[in-house]
Structure 1
Amino acid sequence: MQGVWRELAGLVLPVDCAGCGRPRTELCAECRRGLARDGRGAQRVRPWPGPAGLPRVWAGAPYADEVRAVLLAHKERGALRLAGPLGAVLAGAVRGLGVEAGPQLLVPVPSARRAVAGRGHDPVRRMALRAAGELRRAGVGAWVLDVLRQRRAVSDQAGLSARQRLANVAGALEVPSHAARLLAGRSVVLVDDLVTTGATLAEAARAVGAAAGRVTGAAVVAAPRSAFTTGGEARESLPRDR
């Protein structure tokens, strides 16, 4: 019966594959397999020039092709069911870090309040929860600690240089006092959808450290191809948050 209802929903509310545009499927089998392959190929990435305080970062896939399209569909168009396959790619990046044994505590980087209100959901938190579930199914204890908050508004990052982005987010994140006790003395992995210049992840690491937490690394779904290869500064067009 579930298959019948899906077919009816496709007739009433037709959708196209977020990855390739194939009609009447939110994510076709070919694009789903492509995401799975990328998730198994997680690599360390190095934004250049990297800001001070940036932890080591692993990305599940290059920000291109179906990965880019699916991320944007989930983030900007509210295709919430795509959180599952994207969370699997993020879980691959967490595994790539090879952090110490024991439960993995994933701390999502928060989006701006106005962005969350406009989208109706927090895409990074949603993917972090799916990544934690994926890791647990593989026998790795993983939990999400949603403790980071924005303490002030930041400007749109689009069009800003690496230096301008660093200044834009400096001091913008915090761990509220009531949540700091959850971090004190504990090791965590920061998680985000994208890394571009690394400014946001460096600020998140600073905020966690200020709450006596210890960041062992950061995992993201995607990064520019240049960060995978030469470590050069990203030149590709990226979403504005990071």
Structure 2
Amino acid sequence: MLGVWRELCGLVLPVACAGCGRPRSDLCAACEAALHGTPPRRVRPSPRPPGLPPVHAAAPYENAVRGVLLAHKERGALGLARALGRALAGGVRAGTGRSGGPGPLLLVPVPSARSATAARGHDPVRRIAMAAAQDLRRTGLPARTVPVLRQRRAVADQSGLGARQRRVNLAGALELVAGGERLIRHGAVILVDDLLTTGSTLAEAARAVDEGLGRDRMPAGRPVCRAAVVAASPSAFEINRN
């Protein structure tokens, strides 16, 4: 109900750009260019957590991009999901190739805690993933959102935690839902999230997918899935340049 109220408010109240505050537009041309204006790139956090799959990001998490993500995630600017989904779809294409490969593209969103979803009134990553799947289908790529991951234990708030603390906090926290392995066994699994910082969340999601599919005995270093995010920390882009 909260999500419906927010969408109705967005139709009748004056809007300002989520990225810079410019009036009369929820996303101005300059901020849209910051989100979509450069090709998505491979990103690598440092230190790189064990098990992190290849990740592509659309933009650095700074300035306008940071404002847009926070407006959608924390302030309920749900109309931004389409623009964010388009950016995420670009990351998916960059990581899989424009043809996508054999089978459908299965976008697996990283789950939020139930308490966080209830407090926000929506699940931001899942909403962006659905918009990305629509964008991919419009360009001829078979894609669908498959929310098969869930938290099997509570985790602490990640804000303020370093890379090592985040790995410890998330270790073993995710699992596939019952029957989830059947939904992702045939297709290209793409883990999706709104933001990459240390990479610990995506590494844990990849572990849960590997374990659920019975691939824990695969040779070390062989990715079972790939990942895409809307934004990544600027340092992950800097490292990628070297």
TM interval, short-chain normalised: 0.7 to 0.9
Please state how far the C-alpha of 1:111 moved relative to its aligned partner.
1.0
Distance 1:186 1:34, change over 3 A: closer
CA deviation after TM superposition for structure 1 residue 10, in Å: 7.9
- Tell me the percent identity: 62
Using the alignment, how far apart are the partners of 2:11 and 2:153 within structure 1?
44
**Which residues of 2 match residues 1-242 of structure 1 at below 5 A?**
13-38=13-38, 41-98=39-96, 100-184=101-185, 186-212=187-213, 215-230=224-239
- Alignment deviations for residues 36-92 of structure 1 (CA, whole Å, 9 cap, x no partner): 214xx1000001111111101110101112111000000000000000001000011
> Distance between the aligned counterparts of 2:208 and 2:185, measured in 1?
12
Moved more, 168-177 or 185-194: 185-194
Aligned residues between the structures:
222
Q: 1:44 to 1:10 in 2, by over 3 A?
A: closer
SS of 1:22 mapped into structure 2: coil
Relative to structure 1, the CA distance from residue 213 to residue 109 in structure 2 (aligned partners, 3 Å threshold; closer, same or farther) is farther
| Structure 1 residue 216, shift from structure 2 partner | 2.5
Structure 2's unaligned 5+ residue stretches are 1-8, 216-223
Length-normalised TM-score, structure 2 = 0.86
Judge conservation of contact 1:147–1:175 (CA < 8 Å) in 2: yes
Measured against aligned partners, the alpha-carbon deviations of 1:174-214 in whole angstroms (never above 9, x if no partner) come to 11223232123543010000111111001100111111177
> Cα RMSD between the aligned structures?
2.0
Does the Cα contact within 8 Å between 1:184 and 1:211 map onto a contact in 2? no
Unaligned runs of 5+ in 1: 1-8, 233-242
Q: Greater shift after overlay, 109-118 or 28-37?
A: 28-37
Amino acid at match of 1:60: A
For 1:84 and 1:93, the matched residues in 2 are separated by 14
Q: Deviations over 1:213-242 (max 9, x none)?
A: 77321000000111012259xxxxxxxxxx
- SS of the residue 1:230 aligns to: helix
Q: How far, CA to CA, are the matches of 1:18 and 1:137 in structure 2?
A: 26
Is 1:103–1:143's contact at 8 Å kept on the other side of the alignment? Answer: yes
Q: Which runs of 4+ in 1 moved over 4 A?
A: 9-12
Deviation larger for 95-104 or 128-137: 95-104
* 8 A Cα contact 1:135 1:141, kept in partner: yes
Cα 1:213–1:56 change in 2 (3 A) is: farther
Residue 34 of structure 2 contacts residue 59 of structure 2 at CA under 8 Å; is this kept in 1? no
CA deviation vs aligned residue, 1:82-130 (integer Å, no higher than 9, x gap): 0000100001100110253442111000111111000000000000011
Q: Measure, in 1, the Cα distance between the counterparts of 2:53 and 2:155.
A: 22
Q: Structure 1 residues 231, 162: CA separation in 2 closer, same or farther (over 3 Å shift)? A: farther
Query: How far apart, CA to CA, are the structure 2 residues paired with 1:202 and 1:125?
Result: 18
